[in-house]
Amino acid sequence: MKRSKRNTRSVLCGALALALAASYAGFSSVMSDKVNAADDTKSETLYGDINGDEVVNTTDLLTMSKYLLGADVKIVKENADLNSDGKINIIDAILLTGKLTGAQTDPTTEPTTEPTADPTTEPTTDPTTEPTSDPGTNPVEETKTITLNGASATAEGSGVKVEGSIITISEPGTYAISGKLNDGQIIVDVDKTAYPEGVVELSLEGAEITSTTNSPVYVASIADECVIKLKKGTENVISDGKEYTNADESSGAVYSKDDLKIKGKGSLTVNGNCTDGIVSKDSVKIFNGTVTVNAVDDGIRGKDSVKIGDSDDTEFTDLIVTVNSTAGDGIRATNGSEEGKGKVIINGGTVNITSYYDGIQAEQTFTMNGGDLTIKTYEGSTYTASGSSAGGQQQNPWGGGGMGMDGNANKTDVSAKGIKAVGIYDEAGTTWQSGGDIIIEGGTITIDSSDDALHCGGSMTITDGVFNIATADDAFHSDHELTIGTKDAGTYDDVQIYVSKCYEGVEGVTINQNSGTVYVVSGDDGYNAAGGNDGSGNTNQGPWGGGGFGGGSTGTLNVNGGLVVINSASGDHDALDSNGDINLNGGYVYVNGQEPLDCGDGGSYSIKYNGGSVITMTAGNTNLKTVYSFKDSSGNVIASFYGASGNPGQNCTNSTAWTGGTVTGGTAVCGGNVTLGGTVSGDTQITATSSSGGGMQPGGPGGQGGRPGRNG
């Protein structure tokens, strides 16, 4: 039946009263007896240690009571889930009360009367006093032990069978695994009908598992998920052989046909010597631990999703994921047919990827909410087309190499992108239907790629984060809309993008810059708003093989706020290029290129000055030596930045543009090339003139001012 909030409070009061009474009744001796029955092979999780002080006492029940009543208290969630059902509720509080009193409490039985004890009454004894012995671990579930002994193993507890070097687990539960298995396998095969909510936890406590003829860890069946727990302070290794086929006619050092989760504060190294490292035909979650994956092909592959970092957590210092792929992708989510799946999500932690092909490939959506992500693909940004990038493997059937479809002579003939989201297409694989989005709302991303750094078949939205990009191709590419920052945010440091090397910087059919700072040094166009699709190297069916950015297509470039600094190479290259209109609605724009602003290829389009301030230069010189500044009408510095030497033309009013001088103070962003705020001395005001590029219109209502970034 549904319990009211008042009844919930009453039950909590009663549970708390029982626990406090236990402190007078000598529960220490009871708990000591319980601990003496435990052994050193128990799981690391200390169920009942709600406040994380490594003991279980009445303070933990006080903390849980406050949490359930909505108070802002910090708890250790996995310790608070005493019945391991994935929820923290009144049942866990009742179980904790039973643990403290030694009672066999049935959490499914509701009390017939409301206890009258006042939960705010403090006991006469100190609740922080630790019991004389360790209160033990999981009170609900026995931890079973598996000891690996080279070519054999021994097991204690039900639900596990050992046949030579093959260990088969057939019941839900926690299994503590230690020792070395030279050439064997751990199989999880739990009947989903008999255990419809079954969870198996493999607690690795100093385990080394190797198989030359099969997947060393193989999850054949589990209703809910298989959890690999890494005990704190332990090192664990799982390695497969170079050639084999497992029971699913596939391979992978850790291979699961159902959901797989990795957590804990220990370390795990997975060596995928045959093909992949960690594989799930459903989802892979890595929530804690130091996880290193070395693989021939894909490092981490989940069909429905790969998630790094629990979205409910706020602390990720214990989460470090390193992926090395010698002939595949770093991380992949492969479901490209069911909407809402095929996702890669990073919520936090440190993720380092080195891959031959794409660093991260999501068939539908890539999302990043926080963390520190570093990616290097193939030869990185130093790649040139003078050699074969394919290495004789997986040639791109849609072209690439040579001049490519966008004029880049250094385009690879394989897909070696930093982050790629593909999308759902029609049966022919040529017409986009949905998905393929990249969404970034926080974190730090560093990419050194031979192909596009970030590339999506859908839309790209960046509302927060710091980016350090170097690529032999394009930095940011979207086949649809690409949005940077938040409209009307009025800030310059919510998004910080520094592109030190690229062919083209920011590409999309529609480009919206709303806030933040973007600093691009490009070999071709800085921003390019155009229709059609990019011809970048791609090994998956999709739009990348057709069209390229078509000259007859229409694109729109809108600068609504923030700061844009573009330095394009000399030659026929544009700083801001659109096949349709360029709308300068706000913010501050500094553009240096052979044609600083270019619009309307093959159509009647125009550059519209509706607001903001613009400096244009036509030298097309990326020898970055001179400091330029934007100031508001009161002389306050908005931003200072390095621009190329040359003869500036100026399209702003109210004397907002200055050159030269020494910058003091402020906040450095974009690799130190931009300073927000601060003061400038010894600078010279730029006289408002037309750009020598020709066809430049005088600025709109420039000199609007603005404010420095949040830290400026």
Q: What is the pLDDT averaged over residues 430-435? A: 87
H-helix or E-strand containing 648?
strand 648-650
Helices 58-68, 5-24: crossing angle, 10 deg rounding: 170
Residue 136 has pLDDT above 70, yes or no: no
**503-541 tens-digit pLDDT:** 999 999 999 999 999 999 999 999 999 854 444 333 333
- Using an 8 Å Cβ cutoff, are 342 and 362 in contact? yes
- Quickly state the pLDDT bin for 605 (edges 50, 70, 90): confident
- Using an 8 Å Cβ cutoff, are 619 and 707 in contact? no
Angle at 12 between CA 11 and CA 14, to 5 degrees: 65
Task: Give exposure, 515-548, as e/b (b: 16+ Cβ within 10 Å).
Answer: bbbbbbbbbbbbbbbbbbbbbbbbbbebbbbeeb
- Quickly state the pLDDT bin for 302 (edges 50, 70, 90): very high
- Quickly state the pLDDT bin for 69 (edges 50, 70, 90): confident
What's the full length of the chain, in residues?
712
- Quickly state the pLDDT bin for 44 (edges 50, 70, 90): low
Q: Which region, left, alpha or beta, applies to residue 492 given φ > 0 means left and ψ of -120 to 50 means alpha? A: alpha
- Quickly state the pLDDT bin for 330 (edges 50, 70, 90): very high
Cβ-proximal residues to 4 (8 Å cutoff; 6+ apart), any chain = none
Greater confidence, 137 or 386?
386
Residue 14 has pLDDT above 80, yes or no: no
Burial of 394 (0-12, 13-18, 19+ CB in 10 A): middle
Token pair recorded at residue 632: 């508001």
The residue whose two tokens read 């019945």 is 83
**Is residue 182 helix, strand or coil?**
coil
The top-level CATH class assigned to 5-101 is mainly alpha
Mean pLDDT rounded to a whole number for the chain: 81
Whole-structure pTM value: 0.77
The ranges assigned to domains in the chain are: 5-101, 141-277
Residue 692 has pLDDT above 60, yes or no: no
Range in 24-28, 480-484, 603-607, 657-661 the model is least confident about:
24-28
Between CA 668 and CA 677 the distance in angstroms is: 9
Token pair recorded at residue 362: 């999501």
**188-232 tens-digit pLDDT:** 999 999 999 999 999 999 999 999 999 999 999 999 999 999 999
Q: What is the pLDDT of residue 189?
A: 98
3-state secondary structure labels for all residues of 467-534: EEEEECCCCEEECCEEEECCCCCCCCCCEEEEEEECCCCEEECEEEECCCEEEEEECCCCEEECCECC
Residue 392 has pLDDT above 70, yes or no: no
**541-584 tens-digit pLDDT:** 344 333 344 334 578 999 999 999 999 987 778 899 999 999 99
Greater confidence, 65 or 698?
65
Q: What is the pLDDT averaged over residues 109-114? A: 44
